[in-house]
Copies of this chain bind each other. A is one copy, B any other.
Amino acid sequence: MPTLTLRDIASSIDGEVKGNIDLTIRLLSEVHKCNSDQICFIKDESFISKLSEDAGAVILSPEIAKKVKLENQIIVDDPYLGYARASKLFFNLYQSYEKAEPEIGENFIRGENVSIGHNCKIGKNVKIHDNVSIYPNTRIGDNVEIHSGSVIGSDGFGFAKDKNLDKWIKIYQLGSTIIENDVEIGANCTIDRGALGNTHLANGVKLDNQIHIAHNVIIGKNTAIAAQTAIAGSVKIGNNCQIAGHVSVVGHIEICDGVVILAKSFVTKSLSKPAVYSGVLKVQEHTKTLKLIAKLNR
C-alpha cells in the first residue's frame, strides 16, 4: 500500500516539519485515536489534552506547538485549513488503493437503478429499493431495508475557509458509514459518512423518510426517528430514544438513552436525563400569534 512521509504532507499543506521528516504515515486520524503510523491535527487548545500518546505526528499552530510534547509535528498558521488540505492528499492516497467489488450476502433484493460503490459489504436478507445510492466503503448488516431515493455514505458537509484565497477548502470525508442489523431507512434519507471516524447506526434503528444524519453521528440501538428530522455532525444519541418529525439537533452534543423528543423541537444542548422534551410554540390563529409576538417584543 502506498504511504506518505511527513515531508509529503508538509509540502502539500505549506507546513514546517519538526522531528523525523521521513516518517511514514498511512492514515489521517482523529486526535484521540491516532496511532504511530498516523497523523492528526489539533484545532485549538481544547484538543491538546485529547492527543493520543501513540500519535505518529500532529498538525498544529506555532502557539500550540509550544505546549505539545509530541516529537513529530507539522506547524502551520491555520491547523484546520491544514487538516482540510491534508484530507485531499489522503483522499487521493486512499483512492489509489485496490478497489474491491461489493460483497453481498444471500437473499439480497436489489431494486432498479441502485448503485453500490466499491468496497461495500452488505449482509444477508437485505432489501434495497429503487434509486438508492450507496457510496463506497459502506458496511450494512443483516435484515436491513432501505427505501427508494435514500443516499448512504455521501460526503459530510465540511469546509475550512482559506482567508488568503477567500475560498472554502473542502475537507475530504475519509470515514465510512456503518449500519448494523435490523435497521430500516425510509425514502429520500441522507446518511453522510464520517469525516475521519465513522457514522454509525446500531442494531434496530428505524428511520422514517427524508431524515438527514450528518457525518460522525452515532445512533444507539432501537432508536426511532420520524420524518424530516436533521441530526448535525458528531451527535451521539443513546439507545431506545424516540425522536419525532422536523426536529433539529445541533452538532457535538449527546442525548442519553430513553429520551423522547416531540416534533419540531430544536435541541441545542446535551440531554442527560431520560424524559420527554419539546420546544416550540403550538399553532394557533395568526391574529393570536401576532398579538403574542407584539407582547413578547414589549
CB of A133 within 8 Å of the partner chain: yes
Within 8 A of B (CB), among A259-298: 261-269, 271, 275-286, 289-290, 292-293, 295-297
> Could you give, for residues 38-56 of chain A, a 1 whenever the CB lies within 8 Å of some chain B CB and a 0 otherwise?
0000000000000000000
Interface-located stretch among A7-15, A69-77, A180-188, A194-202: A180-188
Q: Is the CB of B133 within 8 A of A133?
A: no
Q: Is the CB of A184 within 8 A of B209?
A: no
> Could you give, for residues 150-189 of chain A, a 1 whenever the CB lies within 8 Å of some chain B CB and a 0 otherwise?
1100110101000000111010000000000010101111
CB of A190 within 8 Å of the partner chain: yes
Q: Is the CB of A148 within 8 A of B167?
A: no
Closest to A129 in B: B133
Q: Is the CB of B212 within 8 A of A209?
A: yes
Q: How far is the CB of A132 from chain B (nearest CB, A)?
A: 8
A158 to B266, CA, bound (A): 24
Q: Which residues of B contact A189 (CB under 8 A)?
A: 188
Interface-located stretch among A23-31, A84-92, A118-126, A225-233: A225-233
Q: Which residues of B contact A226 (CB under 8 A)?
A: 157, 232
CB of A36 within 8 Å of the partner chain: no
For chain A, the count of residues having a C-beta within 8 Å of the partner chain is 79
A182 to B168, CA, bound (A): 9
Q: How far is the CB of A120 from chain B (nearest CB, A)?
A: 13
Q: Which residues of B contact A111 (CB under 8 A)?
A: 115, 133
Q: Which residues of B contact A262 (CB under 8 A)?
A: 286
Q: Which residue of B227, B230, B267, B293 is within 8 Å of A212 (Cβ)?
A: B227
> Could you give, for residues 204-240 of chain A, a 1 whenever the CB lies within 8 Å of some chain B CB and a 0 otherwise?
1010111010100000001010111010100000000
A147 to B188, CA, bound (A): 13
CB of A22 within 8 Å of the partner chain: no
A-B contact pairs, 12 of them (CB 8 A): A112-B133, A167-B182, A167-B204, A168-B204, A187-B192, A188-B188, A192-B209, A210-B210, A210-B212, A266-B281, A269-B282, A277-B283
A residues lining the B interface (CB < 8 Å): 111-113, 115, 129-133, 135, 145, 147-151, 154-155, 157, 159, 166-168, 170, 182, 184, 186-190, 192, 204, 206, 208-210, 212, 214, 222, 224, 226-228, 230, 232, 245-246, 248, 250, 261-269, 271, 275-286, 289-290, 292-293, 295-297
